Structure 1
Amino acid sequence: MTPVELSRTVLHAVRCAVDDGELKVTVPERVVVTEPGPGGCGDYATTIALQLARPAGQPPLRVAEILLPRLAGADGIRDVVITGPGFLNISVEAPAGLVSGLVREIRDRGAAYGHGDALAGQVIALRVPYEVRAEVVADAVVRIVATQGARGTVEHAEPVNLRPVPAPEDPAPLGPDAAQWALLHPAAHDRPRITADHLAQRESNPLFRVRYAHARIRSVSRNAARLGFTAAPGPLRLGAGDEARRPDIAALDTDTSDVAHPLLTPLADHPRILAAAATHRAPDRLARHLVTVADAVLPFLPRVLPCGEEKPSAAHRARLALAEAAGTVLAGGLSLLGIDAPEHL
């Protein structure tokens, strides 16, 4: 389900609630759906309940509760959760085969996956102060806007139009990769932390998780080659015969279906995130997205290779293809941020 289709579905739910007499409002012409904000969940979120609360004369939470069952029962919607004062967070279903189709697209496009023409033909002049973070952000923005067909330029001139909160101290002692991350991962209005935490080799460090995920994917690919098989997009689950012979392995497949794989949304969202990062001159959006991809792929990697005496199957080749697609997104994103994507870590 696309955002446009989901918007129509939410609008239909509002109309049904009005027709049933549970809401007394004028049905809006359109409903905006966006990615969930902090504290949200699912694939998309909408503030329609907050928008309708005042004209309906009801609290936003009550409006959301009225709309929830009508949305939850709609075709293409897997789950609806209310968060905060009345945000509707929506998880959509993916048609069978969508994962393999997405993996093929990423494999075909490689590092260019996610590139588009949202800013085609534009020349974006970035005027920045003489400050290390502003210059690093501007350099990343130039690379990111190029993915959307624009050409960026950087100059030190007034009036300044790109001024992130300055770094509190020189980030150079962190080394090039950690320094880049420390300056780019926070939003422009947040003060960056120039601390040794960015060098920590542990899960609490987002940069470590992203680079470790890429290195693990490369390691899995090398091990698959040693076992004599390569990646090939296809169904992720074991076949019926394999499940019957190896119920212990089949039990691991509870979250690897083509319909609701946890990697589906972050990989499919990559073009949208990249376009938003370019449009809003916000490399932090890309950095946070890479953390989401890494956190989705890491729990999946132990299921890619055969276990014990198990022979490589089509499902293993498909899982390897999905893992490598995630690696492509991670490597491409890190490159745009000016950070190395390691083969070993």
Structure 2
Amino acid sequence: MNPEQLSTAIVAALTTLVDAGTLSLPDGVPSTVTVERPRQKGHGDYATNVALQLGKKAGTSPRELAALLAEELGRAEGVAEVEVAGPGFLNISVEAGAQGAVAAQVVAAGAAYGSSQTLAGERIDVEFISANPTGPLHLGHTRWAVVGDAISRVLEAAGASVTREFYINDRGNQMNLFGASVEAAALGVPVPENGYHGGYVADVAAQVVAEQPGLLELEGPERTAAFREAGYAVQLRQQQEQLDRFQTHFDVWFSERSLHESDDVATGLEKLRAQGHLFEDGGALWMRTTDFDDDKDRVLIKSDGDLTYFASDTAYYVNKRERGFDRCIYLLGADHHGYVNRLRAMAACAGDDPDRNIEVLIGQMVKIMKDGEELKLSKRAGTLVTLEELVDLIGVDALRYTLARYPADSPLTLDAAEMTRQSSDNPVFYVQYAHARVSSILRNGADLGVHPAQEDFDPSLLSHEKEGELLRALAELPRVVASAAELREPHRVARYLEDLAGSYHRFYDSCRVLPMGDEEPGDLHRARLVLVAATRTVLANGLALLGVSAPERM
């Protein structure tokens, strides 16, 4: 019996009391009830504070309501005992068979276990890397590559249709400087003083010349422009390859240029004009964002006719909404706090609900330490350690898991040696080892001819205290995933997996799963193998939500 099933049983008990006239709820019976695992042993398998929430509405004390509900709920199938505690808490114990059935339900659901339809029908765009195609991706991009992808995964698990979007900052003077830098490197002359000086520029130039040797025969602005476009293509391709290696895959690579080469900017401005929030002053075109809590109005077109970056931001948002997205989520770096109000105000100026259609998340900085020193210098980029170098140093799984297990708005200082240490003190190793351990047991069981076959499964046999602890942990995954999706906090999945791994190790230390020696396999062995198989499913599903592999051998 999982928390959702118990919630349904409590709602049914409340409905029965209301229908019988024993209880009055003017606002009606709630559709769901929060059910949680108690923090202390001896307080049952699950607990709920529903009587505390409804007592005043029902015109009775919470404890009296809890007593009524306890008596009715005690009749529900699978419920062994209901105890009223304190001012009106309900501590609920379920029958071993009802609790053990969770294992079979997990195995039957397989990769779908933990998913829901909470956000079904909602189309969400998640933009979580915005980078110039003028250099390698660095540590700041790395954190968003992990967190943005994990947020997208939990949103999909909650039923949403999610598009992962990379915004390419491929317009502006930085592109011209990059082109001139690549050209200079290809010609063997000094890079312009205000250009790009990292060693990677020479690598890009060499690749451009190898692919298009004819560019060297061009001259003047035509040659510079050709090197700019060829260098752009090489650098963007490298960014895409690095992210693919890092298990972060984007559905859309959106070019800033395309906004200006199409009618998107004009379309965006017309939509804003129709909403009545544009005005002219000093020869410039402004958006009156102060109507919606921004600290100042924003310029869209300067007096010299040039468009501002905010005009691009506005056109891009309108473009997303016209592509049919209900919610546009932006993941921005720590230096973008000032963007929150202006983007929300921009959405309001476009006629949208800033609490519904746009969401801006701000992440904090990460430092990686190695041998007591902060990693800052890159062999190829010069000033920032790159994603590629981090993957080579730490590994995809360790880097992704570690960055995913902390709230994105928390500054991080991480040690490379601790992230790669193969010990139980390293969270990613601890969780992956648990998956490898359960996989080993299932292989060993197969060798002995013992399989987790559900037709032979007797859930009531899983009555040991540690079996119950593990079953309750397995039942939590759907709630954890739903919460992670609702709050945009995928670190909840990582912390849950660590708790689950601990529950599994305690179960394994207390409950022998496989027969020993000449012992004949029995129903208890098979029941425990189902529990082990369920644990493997949940560990694998949770790791997949973080984009981390679930190894079968370590």
- When normalised by structure 2's length, the TM-score is 0.47
2:164 paired residue number: 153
Q: Deviations over 1:180-200 (max 9, x none)?
A: 222222344555562455555
The alignment status of 1:185 with 2:189, answered yes or no, reads no
The alignment status of 1:137 with 2:346, answered yes or no, reads no
Give matches, 1:1-345, under 5 Å.
1-9=5-13, 29-31=28-30, 33-36=33-36, 39=39, 42-49=45-52, 52=55, 70=71, 73-75=74-76, 76-78=78-80, 88-93=90-95, 95=98, 98-99=101-102, 101-106=104-109, 110-128=110-128, 131=140, 132-147=142-157, 148=159, 150-156=161-167, 159=343, 161-170=359-368, 172=390, 174-192=394-412, 194-195=414-415, 197-199=418-420, 201-203=422-424, 205-233=426-454, 234-236=456-458, 254-255=463-464, 261-301=468-508, 302-345=511-554
1:72 CA displacement? 7.5
**In proportion to residue count, which structure has more strand?**
2
What is the distance in 1 between the residues matched to 2:409 and 2:86? 23
Instruction: Work out the number of aligned pairs and report it.
Output: 320
Q: Deviations over 1:46-83 (max 9, x none)?
A: 3541564699797x7x6787678647845344455788
1:334 CA displacement? 0.8
What is the distance in 1 between the residues matched to 2:116 and 2:459? 32
Q: Deviations over 1:234-291 (max 9, x none)?
A: 335899xxxxxxxxxxxxx75189xx84333333443444344334433223223323
Letter in 2 for 1:119: L
Provide closer, same or farther for how the CA distance between residues 164 and 15 of structure 1 changes in structure 2, counting only shifts above 3 A.
Answer: farther
Greater Rg by CA: 2
Letter in 1 for 2:457: P
For structure 1, the 5+ residue unaligned runs are 240-252
Letter in 2 for 1:337: L
Larger mean CA deviation between 312-321 and 46-55 belongs to 46-55
How well do the aligned residues superpose, as a CA RMSD in angstroms? 4.3
For structure 2, the 5+ residue unaligned runs are 131-139, 168-312, 314-338, 344-357, 370-389
Tell me the secondary structure at the aligned position of residue 469 of structure 2.
coil
- Asked if the contact 1:134–1:162 (Cα under 8 Å) also holds between the matched residues in 2, the reply is no
What is the distance in 2 between the residues matched to 1:293 and 1:194? 24
1:323 CA displacement? 0.8
- Asked if the contact 1:118–1:275 (Cα under 8 Å) also holds between the matched residues in 2, the reply is yes
1:10 CA displacement? 5.4
1:34 CA displacement? 1.9
What is the distance in 2 between the residues matched to 1:210 and 1:81? 35
What is the distance in 2 between the residues matched to 1:175 and 1:71? 54
Letter in 1 for 2:399: A
1:165 CA displacement? 4.0
Letter in 2 for 1:218: S
- Asked if the contact 2:154–2:490 (Cα under 8 Å) also holds between the matched residues in 1, the reply is yes
Q: Deviations over 1:184-218 (max 9, x none)?
A: 22344555562455555554554333212101111
- Asked if the contact 1:43–1:91 (Cα under 8 Å) also holds between the matched residues in 2, the reply is yes
1:344 CA displacement? 2.4
1:175 CA displacement? 3.7
Identity score, percent: 33
- Asked if the contact 1:128–1:161 (Cα under 8 Å) also holds between the matched residues in 2, the reply is no
1:293 CA displacement? 3.1
- When normalised by structure 1's length, the TM-score is 0.71
1:149 CA displacement? 5.0
What is the distance in 1 between the residues matched to 2:491 and 2:85? 24
